[in-house]
Amino acid sequence: MSFLEVMGSGGRELRLTEKFFEINWGLILLICVIAGIGFAMLYSVAGGELDPWASNQMIRFAIGMVVLFVVALIDIRVWMSLAYPAYALALLLLIGVEFVGSTGMGAQRWIDLGPFRLQPSEVMKIAMVLTLARYFHGLTLDQVSRVIYLIPALLIIFIPAGLVLQQPDLGTAVLLVAGGIALLVLAGLNWKIMTAGIVVAVSAIPVGWNFLLPYQKARIFTFLDPSRDPLGAGYNIIQSKIALGSGGLFGKGFLQGSQAQLDFLPEKQTDFIFTMLGEELGLVGAAFLLILYLLVLGYCLFFALECRNQFGRLVAMGVGVTFALYVFINVAMVMGLVPVVGVPLPLVSYGGTAMITLLFAFGLLMNVHIHRGVDLPRSSISIW
């Protein structure tokens, strides 16, 4: 299907001014407020200085917001046509990590592109959502549960997950699989197949354990009993629990968190930034942030329900599921409810690729809202 065919199908194309007035400014405000909380926490991480964390994050957020608006205003049929090429590009980048990737924190996950480093696994999160949404849009509800149609979807999910495991990055690989499987369910997967899949997954746990690296096994043992190595593998989660508990109801005050300011709390600008927020702003501050996250998820659900086409619905739900998984895993991790993995807190943790790709995803979400009335024929995108 050519670019002109994409632009000319599915009803009248909205004018740019019409699209602009369809932007949901409530969601934009929510995104800005959450990012503002992140800037404040990064300012606190640096002991009351904008450099090096907060200033860089502000620049990335500004760039990301431009990306959001551009993505939102492009015709949804263009994004539909770019789904498979985007997936192929993300897959090539993941393969490229194996050959030209740079190493950081003991893992090879990035590609150096001059002034910045790109993390292809972050790009794959969005590319997978687009690809699965396009694929399932071309199927009937009955076809979704047929094995012949399930195989391509499972390959779309597990091939990049396997490449991410090689980096190694178990946390991101698990989240890619979880997000992909969630889209399978949302697309209408039969409950019998879901049950069989759960049984197979649980049965495969003993086999999968043998393929884990020593440090990954250590993280699981530490999760079960952090006190077994309080100065080593268990140090991070023990300090995180101490900081969260010491925050109490209203916190110790902005810039007054002793565990964070005295450097007892590790990776406080990235993985453990929610802990720092809990220590300084208390349960009230942490709950306020979680409520903001719930409101964003509410927008994802609302945009999905109001969309007329399956592609847009699945994109909106896919963005929402990915967002929810990252919030849940990060918060549960710092509370000791799940093993420690390198998962950032959306819009709050320091990180370039994560910030830009998340705002790109929100641009797609806004795009679904703007083009909610566009009719996308199933036959126009089937891969068969």
Q: How far apart are the C-alpha atoms of 323 and 174, rounded to whole Å? A: 14
Q: How far apart are the C-alpha atoms of 12 and 35, rounded to whole Å? A: 36
Which tokens hold the place of 325? Answer: 């998984």
**Each residue's pLDDT tens digit in the chain (384 positions)?**
333 333 344 445 667 777 888 899 999 999 999 999 999 999 998 888 898 889 999 999 999 999 999 999 999 999 999 999 999 999 999 998 888 766 655 566 778 776 677 888 889 999 999 999 999 998 888 888 888 999 999 999 999 999 988 877 878 888 899 999 999 999 888 888 888 888 887 887 787 777 777 767 777 777 777 776 666 667 778 888 888 888 889 999 888 887 777 677 777 888 889 998 999 999 999 999 999 999 999 999 999 999 999 999 999 999 999 999 999 999 998 888 888 777 889 999 998 888 999 999 999 999 999 999 888 877 544 443
The β-bridge relationship of strands 116-118 and 102-104 is unpaired
Scan for tokens 């009719």, then name that residue.
375
Tens digits of residue pLDDT in 242-282: 888 888 899 998 888 877 776 777 778 888 899 989 999 99
Radius of gyration of the chain (CA): 21
Q: How far apart are the C-alpha atoms of 1 and 135, rounded to whole Å? A: 15
CB 7 within 8 A of CB 77: yes
Residues 6+ apart with CB under 8 A from 352: 56, 60, 116, 117
Burial track 275-312 (b if 16+ CB lie within 10 A, e otherwise): bbbbbbbbeebbeebeeebeebeebbeebbeebebbbb
CA distances for 148 relative to 151, 315, 358, angstroms: 6, 23, 32
Q: How far apart are the C-alpha atoms of 57 and 63, rounded to whole Å? A: 10
CB 307 within 8 A of CB 282: no
Which tokens hold the place of 268? Answer: 């406080």
Tens digits of residue pLDDT in 37-74: 999 999 998 888 898 889 999 999 999 999 999 999 99
The residue ranges of every structural domain in the chain are 3-225+309-380
pLDDT at res. 239: 84
**Predicted model pTM:** 0.88
